[in-house]
Structure 1
C-alpha cells in the first residue's frame, strides 16, 4: 500500500476508534502492533482508563473482514479460545477485538528438544482436538481439489520459474501432485484453521488463544497438526514426529473423528503427504511474497521448509524420482541463489 494511502487508512482507523469510545481524536492512543503477509495490519489502542484493545485494519477490496468476524462468533459460541469482538465496520475493514498481548507461542520455545518446547506443542495439539470436536466444518469453504491444486501450483510458478528461473516441471511432478491431492481428499473433513503455526497462537495467562483464522476451511484432519509440527520454528526428529502423529490418531479414533480401521501406517502416510503439500505451498508463497510483493525475511526460511519437505518425502517412497531431483538439482540451485542474494542457507531463521 502506498505511503499516502497507509497514512490515510491510519487516520480513518483512529477516527473510527475515537468514535466507538466517545473520545476526542487526540485522546486516541493508537500504535502499530504487527503486520502480516497479507494487507492486514494490527494496532494497539490504549484507552484513557488503561484498557487496551487490538484493532484490525483489513483494507477493502484487498481484504475481507467478514470471514474473520463470522468465524470468531461461531468459535466463541462453541467455547473455543478466540478474542472477543467489540466493534466492527466491515465495509471499511475495521475490527476492534480483545488485546491478547505480545506473546505468540514461539517465544515459549527454547530449542527443539527443550521440555517447555515439547510441552507447549502438546498443549497446542490439545487445542486442535478441541477445535475439531467443538467447531463443525459447516459454512466453511471446502478445501477441495481445486484449492489444493492452486496451492501446489505456487511451487513451480513462483519458486521454480519466477525465483530460480527453472522453466520445466520436475520429474514426477504430475504424479506427486495428483497423489498429494488424492491423499488429502481421502481424509475425514474437519474444521481446519489452515495456518495453525505458533505465530497464530497467543499465550495469555498460560492459556492458548487462536488468532488469524479468517482462512479456515473444511478440510483434511491432518492439516492443522502438520502446520504445527512442521511449522516455522522447530525441526523435530522423525521418531518424535511419528509419536505425536500416532497419539493424534489414537485420540481421534477414540472420539469418533477417525475410523477405527485407520491404521498407524495409513495415517502416518497421509500426514507425510499433507506435510509435503504444505511445504511445497509454503516454498511457493514465500517466493511470491519476495518477488511479487517485495517482502523481506522470507527467503531465510526457505531452507527450513525444504528440510520439512525432504523429511516428508522420506515417508513417501513412491515419489523417489521427485525426491532425487530435490537432492541433485533443487537444493543446490536454491542454496546458490540464496548466497547470491546475500542469505546464508545454513543459518537458522
Structure 2
C-alpha cells in the first residue's frame, strides 16, 4: 500500500471522527484473498474501529455497504458501516475483535457446539434477509464457478486434461443446485468469516451474497477450511439443518431427508471443485501464497461427497486415480 494511500486513509478516518491525524492511531489488522486490507483505528478514548481499504479499481464496495445496511436493519449480526467513501474505497466499520470462529475449535464437543451455533445463524440469515434484491445464483454463475476447476487447476497448474465425464458432471451439479429453494446466500460462510464478538457470532465478508440454493452456506460451513467431518457427523449436521428448515417453511415437506442429503453432497462437490480452481488462480494469477497447501484438504472434501453421488462414479474414479496422484506429485515437486 503506497504512503500516499495510507496517508489519505488515515486523514479520512480521523475526519469521520471529528479528529486530526495526530489524535488517532492506525495499525494493520488483516488482509484477505482479495485486494482489501483492514486497519484497526484507536481513538483517544481507547475505543476502536476498523477501516477497510478497498481500492476502487479492483474492488467495488457498494454491494458490501448495501448488504450491510439491509442485514443490520433486519436484525442480523453484521458490522455497522459508520462511514463510506466509495470514490476512494474507504469504509469505517465496527471493530469485531480478533476471534474468528476457527480459533475456538478445540475438542470434538466444542467444535460441534460452535458449528451448531453457526447453523442457527444460517437459519436467521435465510429467514430474515430478503434475497430478492441480490444477484441470482443461476446456471450461468454456477457454471462459471465450476469452469475455474478445469481452467486453473487442471490446465494452468497441472497441465492435465479434464476427463470425458466432466461435461456431464458439470451439468448434473448445476441441476442439483437449481432444484433447491432459493434463499439469501452469504456465499463464503466459512469459519474465518464468522467473528465471535460479545458472545455472539457476527458475519463478515458478505459482499458476494446472492439469491441461491438453500444448502450452499451449510456446505460452506461443513466443508470449509478447518474441519473434515466423518459421513456420520456430516449427516447429523445436515439432519439438524433439514429439520429446522422443514419446521420454519424454508424447505417443502415434499423433499425428504435423503433427497436433501444428496443435494448437499452435490453442492459440496460443486464448491470443492470451485475452491480447487480459485486457490490455483490466487496462486498463479494473483501471486498469493499459502493456498496450494490447502488443495489436498478440499480434494478430501470432494472425494467425501462424490462417494455418495452414485451418478458420479466415473468422475469419482478419475479423481482418485488421476487427479489425486497428479496433485500430490505437483505439490511434492514444488516443495522440493
Q: Same fold (TM over 0.5)?
A: yes
- Among candidates 13, 19, 24, match of residue 23 of structure 1: 19
> Which residue of 1 is the match for residue 166 of structure 2?
173
TM-score, structure 1 normalization: 0.95
Whole-angstrom CA distance in 1 between matches of 2:16 and 2:258: 55
**Residues 1:146 and 2:174 aligned together:** no
Q: Is the 8 A contact 1:88 1:95 kept in 2?
A: yes
SS at match of 1:110: coil
> Which residue of 2 is the match for residue 252 of structure 1?
245
> Which residue of 2 is the match for residue 347 of structure 1?
none
Q: Deviations over 1:246-275 (max 9, x none)?
A: 121111111111110101111011000000
Q: Deviations over 1:318-345 (max 9, x none)?
A: 11111111111110010011011118xx
The offset of 1:9, in angstroms, is 2.0
Where structure 2 has 5 or more consecutive residues not aligned to the other structure, the ranges are none
Equivalent residue runs for 1:1-349 within 5 Å = 6-111=2-107, 114-166=108-160, 168-342=161-335
The offset of 1:110, in angstroms, is 1.2
Aligned pairs, number: 336
RMSD: 1.0
The offset of 1:27, in angstroms, is 2.5
Q: Deviations over 1:88-126 (max 9, x none)?
A: 111211110100000000000015xx2111100000000
Whole-angstrom CA distance in 2 between matches of 1:12 and 1:173: 49
Whole-angstrom CA distance in 1 between matches of 2:244 and 2:174: 25
Regions of 4+ moved over 3 Å:
none
The offset of 1:279, in angstroms, is 0.1
SS at match of 1:232: coil
The offset of 1:69, in angstroms, is 0.6
Whole-angstrom CA distance in 2 between matches of 1:218 and 1:105: 25
Q: Is the 8 A contact 1:171 1:321 kept in 2?
A: no
Whole-angstrom CA distance in 2 between matches of 1:181 and 1:43: 39
SS at match of 2:131: coil
The offset of 1:28, in angstroms, is 2.5
Whole-angstrom CA distance in 1 between matches of 2:75 and 2:22: 38
* Larger CA deviation: 20-29 vs 333-342: 20-29
Whole-angstrom CA distance in 2 between matches of 1:232 and 1:272: 17
Whole-angstrom CA distance in 1 between matches of 2:52 and 2:24: 15
SS at match of 2:76: coil
Whole-angstrom CA distance in 1 between matches of 2:49 and 2:27: 11
Q: Deviations over 1:196-247 (max 9, x none)?
A: 0000000012210011110000000000000000000000100110111112
